[in-house]
A and B are shown apart, each in its own frame.
Chain A
């Protein structure tokens, strides 16, 4: 019916040009697919990253000393400023690339590829925690208790790793399970509070972050996590039987944790898109009223979701203790991953594989940020700014759409004004 109703702009025989959404020549299938990509969420994520890198480039240029010097005589020789700016930006971003993917200055492939393995190592906990936060998002829960859940997981799993004597293999599995369970319980507590009392998870997770932080600090100073005979608030080193084995040999830092997050991603994907629990999760996340009327226990779903969310974040915590810093941990073991996970989940659009990709991107920022600072003297804060801007752009999709002139969803013709009151949407009339 829409075919008969619409009066498309007269086609001049040109093929549809995806680059020009303002003039859709053929409002057919190609255009529809294009629309789905542009108005869909994935493209916004990609564009947000690009935009953030662009703003980052401007900041790099402005903070560069050569640029500042050249800009003094900008009006007599503007070329100098431009060249200096180009040099600073290209230098910084190529250092970022060489520090995170492949280092061309190294003689052979084996050492050249090391930055990529670093990226994956950094990405491992980000993906795990990102999956946890994303799972919460899909159920309509804002889990910002990543820090607390990671700390509890690290503390309990870490204790198993340094205090118990178990055969190799079994020791690792026990430490892993205990750590994940710790995170799950710390998260599940939030779900239980929400289900039973209606306490908002944002508040309870923040408060439990403090509780976990000071609890673990205390335990490291005076409790069962303390290193005997030491005054440092730091735990003993994990026993070798509980440490994640390296995947590519001792030259690289990449360890078993990365395999575990791949499994976790597959599990989360299955859970959300194939299992009936995930079906109920999504129903509750999208419309808790309808879920309740359909006999789904919304409260129970909140508890389950927070258990699973906390467990996934706990995987990130235990990954730190058994994989990344095995020589003992302090109360800063989460190193901000619990919060970065929110960013990763947002960038990944709360889709498991999206989170996986976003985690790797952020891992690359972490790995490359250091070499950018070392090689070019670009402050690592730039990387943090870029990360923050990514989230800012994602949180304001209309802004990104406006910058790139993308069509707004829910509106068939780009360029037309968005109706202020949605009384008669096109689909409704067409369908009725």
Chain B
């Protein structure tokens, strides 16, 4: 089915989120919509899906103008959406999830489950999905859950499929499989809109690329364009994607973790006897698919996990069993992986957030009084130094963009005397410009002789920053390999396979 958007304009008050956007997706084509976070991609797709009403413009399917009052109309017209965050009910089976919203019922409202089951089996057979219709969704790996989302859309005869940042939660292997599925769907005549900000994936799978910046179409690009060309279109200025990094000059071992085990409140093992060392002046990247114990490992280092055994020493003194306060005071800087949840108080101002973890001691506090004038001066300095774009230090942090929020976190953590710096997912959800900035800062911290741990699920980031790479799988260390280990080897390690000879050499 051919999809055409003509002159779509969507305003939120004074702000134009979509400015006369034209987009044509031919039948049987994968059309990538590339843009930074906040460029207006998701708004456009929500207009298409009937969630927003556009002020101007029209949507055409096979040259017929459509009027969608809600997602129901869009679905009925043949538009399906695979959301970034799955819209599945974990305790339902695959079949139940697929039928949800258009349940077929028999006598007295009896659910016709067998029909739904047949539907699932039929679609997964057609595309080789290998999904058991009776499996509970919560038991399935993330990649399979995504397939359930796809089946859900296909079971409603979707002939235009929108994938909204589908690879954010997948391993590299799962990403490759998803791309295979997308190609297969395309070959069977489905039109696909692929929303992403990852350049590599776009180039791998897209037939055509439309780049959006600040709510407007910047232009089309061909899949043969280089990363730099695409990034430049996306950001609107020349972007240097490679991080300038001199070889590490590792010093003495600083952080020594031995036999660290973390249990959850039910006694389940989250981190399984992990041991590693980080030297002064090097970056150890901890790679792995989301949910393989990296989060719990960092929380254990920060004193945020209650059931920890093993030993953690920093410069010879033990950190295990100490309060968060003591660990912070020992000189550990921490960028939490979920900055809005754990890193910032969004209803606090920039200035207040900058003193969040130093609210107990001079110079920010003297005799119980917050030193407002000192704080203001400090905040002004840091806002300038870290280039936080805002209307002033009294701006609420919740009103900043993700990149600027992260800069506030970095400014706070890097303005202390550090003996260890831990950054968890430091660039998640950030735009290209901010990513550059964050990476430069992390490398500058390393070059100042501070041991650095970077936890990341993005291989690009791991490759850009790491001096050594520790790969985790199911709470265990699969291996510690050099920073220049090929992507394919890392991908296998992230799936739990122990590295071959070349990797083990580290």
Contact = CB atoms under 8 A, between A and B. Distances in A.
B214 to A, nearest CB: 7
Nearest to A416: B13
B14 A5 contact: yes
B345 A423 contact: no
Given A413-B14, A417-B53, A429-B40, 20 more contacts: A274-B370, A275-B370, A279-B359, A280-B360, A283-B356, A286-B345, A286-B346, A289-B341, A290-B342, A290-B343, A292-B342, A293-B334, A423-B43, A424-B40, A428-B37, A429-B401, A431-B399, A431-B400, A432-B36, A432-B402
Contacts of A286: 345-348
Given A280-B359, A286-B348, A428-B38, A412 B12 contact: yes
A277 B367 CA distance: 11
Interface stretch (B119-127, B185-193, B322-330): B322-330
Nearest to A294: B357
> What are the 8 closest A-B residue pairs judged by CB atoms, nearest first?
A412-B13, A6-B14, A426-B15, A294-B357, A413-B13, A295-B325, A432-B401, A431-B401
A228 B327 CA distance: 60
B309 interface: no
Interface string B210-233: 000011000000000000000000
14 contacts: A276-B359, A276-B369, A287-B341, A287-B347, A291-B356, A293-B304, A413-B13, A419-B12, A419-B52, A421-B51, A423-B46, A428-B401, A429-B40, A432-B38
Nearest to B343: A290
Interface in A290-306: 290-297
A403 interface: no
Interface in A277-334: 277, 279-280, 282-283, 286-287, 289-297
B107 interface: no
Interface string A1-16: 0100111100000000
Interface in A378-432: 411-413, 416-417, 419-421, 423-432
Nearest to B12: A426
Contacts of A279: 352, 355, 359, 370
A290 B356 contact: yes
B368 A275 contact: yes
Interface in B302-352: 302, 304, 323-325, 327-329, 334, 336, 341-348, 352
Contacts of A423: 42-43, 46
Contacts of A432: 36-38, 401-404, 431
Given A289-B341, A295-B328, A416 B12 contact: yes
Given A291-B345, A293-B304, A425-B12, A276 B403 contact: no
B411 interface: no
A27 interface: yes
B204 interface: no
B16 interface: yes
Contact of B51 (A282, A412, A420): A420
B11 interface: yes
B245 interface: no
Contacts of A426: 12-15, 17
Contact of B341 (A5, A290, A431): A290
Interface of B: 11-17, 36-40, 42-43, 46, 51-53, 214-215, 302, 304, 323-325, 327-329, 334, 336, 341-348, 352, 355-357, 359-360, 364-365, 368-370, 372, 389-390, 399-404, 431
Contact of B304 (A2, A274, A292, A429): A292
Range of interface residues on A (Cβ < 8 Å)? 35 or more
B13 A411 contact: yes
Contact of B324 (A276, A293, A420, A429): A293
B159 to A, nearest CB: 24
A7 B16 contact: yes
Contacts of B369: 274-276
Contacts of A274: 369-370, 372
B324 to A, nearest CB: 4
A429 B334 CA distance: 27
A339 to B, nearest CB: 28
B330 to A, nearest CB: 11
A290 to B, nearest CB: 5
Given A276-B369, A411-B12, A424-B12, A294 B51 contact: no
A300 to B, nearest CB: 10
Contact of A290 (B215, B345, B364): B345
B146 to A, nearest CB: 19
Contacts of B400: 427, 431
A294 B348 contact: no
Contacts of A280: 359-360
A22 to B, nearest CB: 13
A415 to B, nearest CB: 10
A431 B388 CA distance: 10
Given A297-B323, A432-B36, A421 B46 contact: yes
A416 B323 CA distance: 48
Contacts of B37: 428, 432
Contacts of B15: 2, 5-6, 412, 426, 429-430
A295 B356 CA distance: 9
Contacts of B304: 292-293
Interface in A92-131: none
A338 B368 CA distance: 30
A420 B12 CA distance: 12
A394 to B, nearest CB: 19
Contacts of A428: 37-38, 401-402
Contacts of A424: 12, 17, 38, 40, 42-43
B319 to A, nearest CB: 13
B85 to A, nearest CB: 11
A139 B372 CA distance: 21
Nearest to B396: A427
B359 A431 contact: no
A2 B14 contact: yes
Contacts of A275: 368-370
A296 B11 contact: no
A419 B17 CA distance: 12
A282 B348 contact: yes
A119 B426 CA distance: 57
A429 B215 contact: yes
A295 B12 contact: no
A297 B304 CA distance: 11
